[in-house]
Structure 1
């Protein structure tokens, strides 16, 4: 299942790559790269060394290696799991879906009448690495775990799975028949990744079985080798049970590296790449390593934003959320972060489509404009009166707890600017910089914040991946609020209905029109405030190929390696 991935300290997009290759620097006036190309130094396998290792910097060891779980959606976990687990479809740099020949014997059959039905024929060699065949039972079990009907499974989202009526056996155990109760336009996004039935058939194993360990089995070019919590490393190694092209690398070591130390790690040989994102300091360090590294750039669906927690009493009033948005000068933030990198500073006025997407439309209206006078008036209307330099209501001051990830330069700059801007309308902001490893598990997911600044990383299915982020949270059968990925805890029935209609619309033009209507409604509800599309810029050690700025493309882990 493809979902929007949280990018905490570093960031990236997820595999088959076609595209332009360059090692140049960004020029003045550049906008985000076209999403139809990427920059990965595509190189034939016979030109690569057999062996070697890649040291891959991550923010921290994932709390849960089950990517389908609520705690498993961080980008770092995605980068590990997709080297180990099956996906029925891959994507090229432009986001086009490509059926995965490693797991499928033929292109899936897609029928729409009388109901939408997708039929998969699995590859004859497709097995989990414990020798168990991959069968329809794995698909059926994952559907049952993720369809939202059993609250014991703490799922990240139910996108697509909630539309399915049944998953059954076809002519053989290798034939999987998926019948939809309602049409689902992004059906290629489901069963990616696919976990074994042994994980998805039991809530306890699903929720806790992959916490700080990998019980397996897996089925990819790599397998789990070691986890060292003290050294903050996860090691995966070439899997001899893999039936596809063998991995060129012997192993990949995922090493916890603080974002502020990423450039030093590459310079000292402790990591093989790092992401610049919107960090001018890291960009300058890359220029100093000229000759030892290459700069990779592409357009990708990443954006910086501020999530606003609508469950907080002082933020439950939408007028307050709207006033805060109008008091923040997003253009100034974009200039501060993008200007030093040579990119044209542009605010992002759409949550679903990025600036370089053909369907992008500015839906912000007055709420997205910098209008401090209007913000003051709206706060007055909401009963928050200015007393001295701070607003208060019923004896309580209007203060904002802004949580950011420590060591992330963009967050530090953004938060200081926001604090200064909101002070001008009488709103006090306390900035809490928390450890990267705790940012989501201890603060964002449980709702322990007023505002939180981080990056959303997208996938090639812009409508469906946003559905769980903006679906209005509802209490489950146990009385618990099921937020899925809606960390803002706000929404509306109208937005939910529009998402259901858009994801069921098989005509792409009509679906895009609905998506832009959704974004327009989101500007009124304001679960988050988009800031800018974040650059997809990477610094890669010279000689590392089939790797870099992937845009929308999936990573082909078995083809990543070093030039011979």
Structure 2
């Protein structure tokens, strides 16, 4: 090879090496690393926050002890009912629960229910005949229930079609049968649960048969959270959740102002009105009577008040208007035993003077006739024994405790020794003797803060066990004269001592059919072969004179006005209870809250949260 050729090859090789080096040293373009996907945007649950006074003692809508606006709301939105009131208050068949309900026989009187095959509890058990059986059995055998009269006329509940059809047999024609079997409870969970009827529902409702379910009850924070029941077979609720939140007047006003609270239903009163005043037109308010009348139940089966003259004297010593003004000034005065003041057709039936009106002269005459004398210091005594009474109110029912204190103040001023106790409400209305817990140290026995149990389980927290011993004194003497009560004067009871209450602050349910309501509140059912010992009323009242009238009213399609008048007249003469007042809520809405919910009183029996499954979330 010539020199020229070699030089050419060397040059070309050098160039190639240079190019190769340049290519090797140049940065290589790499594809951009994949960017992480943006985190999903958190979707805020659509909710409505409802302000309330308190959560109540428990959530069984069939117990007097648990009667409260919150319990009514939960029963309306969570529990299935065969019939529900429409906007006008007329009962309509709820076809999500039963496709038909009709009288199929008059001898014996029999009602047949065909249940919706899709209807089921959130625990996945069907809503079935066993739920009807459970409610019927509890209502006829348990004390302290709400409107039990209709269930006493049921003699059998029969299951058909695998539990999806029910035949209910009555002892006689019962025109008010449509009012029965509302607020059904999950029998499969409750029938074997500890504390079943009273205890198992203090911490919530363990299963739902409605558009919402109870997700949590937090008593420490004062909240009940309802969430959409995703297993509901009918039209689902629009909202994700409803929060019922306990708030005092000032906290409520601030919550409404900043938008943390949408609507509220506190007890109407000057404190709430004053707290809301600075909000002006930013909120709207409407009074709404509640389906509860507060009475003083005067125990008539033992002790001083077993003498009707002493009951009449106590009534004549009390200034009912002053009690109402001190405790519930916005409440409606109650002057009848049947209809509540807010109901159509209500008219006062109270006689002039005592026991409906304060009449010290009549009280002195009655006590003297009953054998009592008044000492120089003004104290009433029977022989050497002071006239001493125990007044009791459920510890969790704060307004009731206030009533008890106001009554005690007036009776002490009149020369009667009084002890005020505040046992758990579930004990007070179901047991003859209760622990003598002073109001200042009483503690609710409701279930502690916790989430509602998962489907298929039930809370085990129950009420305080019944006292194993009770005072043996305090019953009426053989001659009918009152014996002394076993209760010591106020503040002298030993720890864990038990007493029998002479006067109970008693909630009375109103809003149902009048005849059965009267029989439930004041009647004494006869023993039957299947129920030889039916439960007595919380105050032990039973009148042989009144019972036939009540039985006739309970089974009448339309109550006879003359019989109603007779019942009212006998009740004022016998005075098993002294009516006080019908409580009233103040319904409060922000402008967005009102637009989204249409918040209003609703029918008396179902209350302001009626139709909440159709509410929308407020838009600020």
Q: TM-score range by the shorter chain?
A: 0.7 to 0.9
Cα separation, 2, equivalents of 1:74 and 1:480: 32
- The question of 1:385 aligning with 2:440 is answered no
Structure 1 position 68, deviation (Å): 4.2
Instruction: Kindly indicate whether the alpha-carbon contact (under 8 Å) linking 1:293 and 1:542 is maintained by their aligned counterparts in 2.
Output: yes
Structure 1 position 423, deviation (Å): 4.8
- The question of 1:120 aligning with 2:120 is answered no
Residues 238, 413 of structure 1: CA spacing in aligned structure 2 closer, same or farther, 3 A cutoff? closer
Q: Which moved more, 1:254-263 or 1:88-97?
A: 254-263
Q: Which residue, 286, 290, 305 being the options, matches 2:280?
A: 290
Q: TM-score, normalised by structure 1?
A: 0.75
Q: Which runs of 5+ in 1 are unaligned?
A: 1-48
Residues 77, 128 of structure 1: CA spacing in aligned structure 2 closer, same or farther, 3 A cutoff? same
Aligned to 2:545: 494
Deviations 1:306-353, CA, capped at 9 Å, x for gaps: 222335512222111111111223345556678x75x9xx74221211
Cα separation, 2, equivalents of 1:268 and 1:223: 28
Structure showing greater relative contact order (alpha-carbon pairs closer than 8 Å, 6 or more residues apart): 1
* SS at structure 1 position matched to 2:550: helix
Cα separation, 1, equivalents of 2:588 and 2:275: 10
Deviations 1:20-79, CA, capped at 9 Å, x for gaps: xxxxxxxxxxxxxxxxxxxxxxxxxxxxx982232453524644x444467555553332
Cα separation, 2, equivalents of 1:227 and 1:410: 22
Q: Which residue, 410, 415, 424 being the options, matches 1:426?
A: 415
Cα separation, 1, equivalents of 2:62 and 2:396: 27
- The question of 1:57 aligning with 2:52 is answered yes
Instruction: Kindly indicate whether the alpha-carbon contact (under 8 Å) linking 1:233 and 1:253 is maintained by their aligned counterparts in 2.
Output: yes
- The question of 1:470 aligning with 2:463 is answered no
Cα separation, 1, equivalents of 2:584 and 2:66: 24
Aligned to 2:612: 557
Q: Which residue, 55, 61, 79 being the options, matches 2:73?
A: 79
Structure 1 position 183, deviation (Å): 2.2
Q: Which residue, 574, 588, 593 being the options, matches 1:539?
A: 588
Cα separation, 1, equivalents of 2:311 and 2:153: 33
Residues 475, 280 of structure 1: CA spacing in aligned structure 2 closer, same or farther, 3 A cutoff? farther
Aligned to 1:394: 383
Instruction: Kindly indicate whether the alpha-carbon contact (under 8 Å) linking 2:48 and 2:243 is maintained by their aligned counterparts in 1.
Output: yes
Aligned to 2:85: 91
Instruction: Kindly indicate whether the alpha-carbon contact (under 8 Å) linking 1:145 and 1:201 is maintained by their aligned counterparts in 2.
Output: no
Instruction: Kindly indicate whether the alpha-carbon contact (under 8 Å) linking 1:103 and 1:126 is maintained by their aligned counterparts in 2.
Output: yes
Q: Which runs of 5+ in 2 are unaligned?
A: 1-43, 435-500
Aligned to 1:11: none
Cα separation, 1, equivalents of 2:266 and 2:515: 27
1:222-371 pair list within 5 angstroms: 222-257=212-247, 272-311=262-301, 313-333=303-323, 347-366=333-352, 367-371=355-359
Aligned to 1:103: 97
Q: How many residues align?
A: 500
Residues 271, 428 of structure 1: CA spacing in aligned structure 2 closer, same or farther, 3 A cutoff? farther
Residues 123, 453 of structure 1: CA spacing in aligned structure 2 closer, same or farther, 3 A cutoff? same
Higher radius of gyration, 1 or 2: 2
Residues 516, 557 of structure 1: CA spacing in aligned structure 2 closer, same or farther, 3 A cutoff? farther
Cα separation, 2, equivalents of 1:168 and 1:238: 33
Cα separation, 2, equivalents of 1:68 and 1:411: 19
Structure 1 position 206, deviation (Å): 3.0
Aligned to 2:556: 505
Q: Which residue, 186, 194, 203 being the options, matches 1:196?
A: 186
